[in-house]
Structure 1
């Protein structure tokens, strides 16, 4: 477990024990946290801490099967960055209309820390390139499986998985922008 998770569990358990005690001196004592205490507390995923993230993902899903349109930024057709921009803009977070520019927004996140609501970035059509050319919105993370929604030139708005060879070879990174929703 990470230090942050253990600290959160410790604080949660400590607060619960302190609240349960009615003796005024309980605030001065430090409760013992056992391994059993830690294993019974389930940490709340980042995306569930921000209700707007669920709303952005739900809004994105409403546009499944909308056609691809180069330069498209609305329901008549989206390109990849036009789609992510459209979804976040609906909730007050204005992203640039370029996948490369969206690759500079927010905070870089390790693939292992990816959460729903994060942007996922890829190289363009060539897996040998070194520039961001495609972007999607992560909708689900189960283990090491990352599911994302995006507007692809060959199918419009649809779901795909990072573990598919096409995307695995082009993967460039993950950016966390959802925390910026709460700041707006």
Structure 2
């Protein structure tokens, strides 16, 4: 624990040096003139509007004449940023249950989520973010403390029992709004299965996503819930991870109701939105 604390403090110190020790040389500024737009300024400095917004902590496209905008951070910082990123990776090796990532210029929540096999919604929930704007140097948690990847024997037995119950219902027809063995929709199936083992889950996939501890795709374990955005911009489908990169779920009338599907199947790989651990 002490080693981890010292390392995290070192990460912060290194990154503070990176962003304060050479601020004058590393940052490029532009004074807004009449007729300027963020798009035009971004094009002038070979950057993008989103990065300018992040660097200056602004949410609107409207800019006032005379405003001093930071438009770019030069590569002079790259070696120090790389050291900081390596340190963050070392932290993950020390305690994989508390992984962190230090935001770098040009990063977005979407790019970080894709890199670490999670979702924007999960990152926002873990870090209590209300906006998707990130500033370089921000230490972003990638999963929740407590989502320990090493589980005791009793937890594994519970997960195995949950999956055994789920598999008893393979072939049960899909029924919109269904939450009983006569027919399930996706969240009704998950709620029913977990209720047989003493868990009271929320009724919808989106609400179930807010329960349990968020976990990355690479850390999935038996019994974890996996979430998808299949037909909208919000979470609208859920299943139970069953191992071997597969999950069991009530899919659709056309697909045969309760089935087992591989996470790499193109439709679900595209719509994957994160995972949560209920059994701990």
Q: Give the TM-score of the pair, scaled to structure 1.
A: 0.68
Q: Distance in 2 between matches of 1:151 and 1:172?
A: 17
Which has the larger Rg? 2
C-alpha contact 1:136 1:148 (8 A) present in aligned 2: yes
Structure 1 residue ranges, 4+ long, deviating more than 4 angstroms after superposition: none
Q: Greater strand percent: which structure?
A: 1
- Please state whether the residue corresponding to 1:167 is helix, strand or coil: helix
Q: Structure 2, unaligned stretches of length 5 or more?
A: 1-91, 97-148
Residue 150 of structure 1: which of 241, 249, 260 is its match? Answer: 249
Deviation at 1:48, TM superposition (A): 4.9
| Higher RCO (C-alpha 8 Å, min separation 6) | 1
Q: Structure 1, unaligned stretches of length 5 or more?
A: 6-43, 180-184
CA-to-partner distance for each residue in 1:7-28, whole Å, 9 max, x for gaps? xxxxxxxxxxxxxxxxxxxxxx
Residue 190 of structure 2: which of 69, 72, 84 is its match? Answer: 84
Q: Distance in 2 between matches of 1:4 and 1:108?
A: 16
Residue 116 of structure 1: which of 222, 233, 238 is its match? Answer: 222
C-alpha contact 1:47 1:117 (8 A) present in aligned 2: no
* Number of the residue aligned with 1:2: 93
- Measured on the aligned residues, the alpha-carbon RMSD in Å equals 1.9
Deviation at 1:45, TM superposition (A): 5.4
> In the comparison of the two structures, how many residue pairs are matched?
134
* 2:275 pairs with 1:174: yes
Q: Give the TM-score of the pair, scaled to structure 2.
A: 0.45
Q: Distance in 1 between matches of 2:191 and 2:152?
A: 18
Deviation at 1:93, TM superposition (A): 0.4
* Number of the residue aligned with 2:213: 107
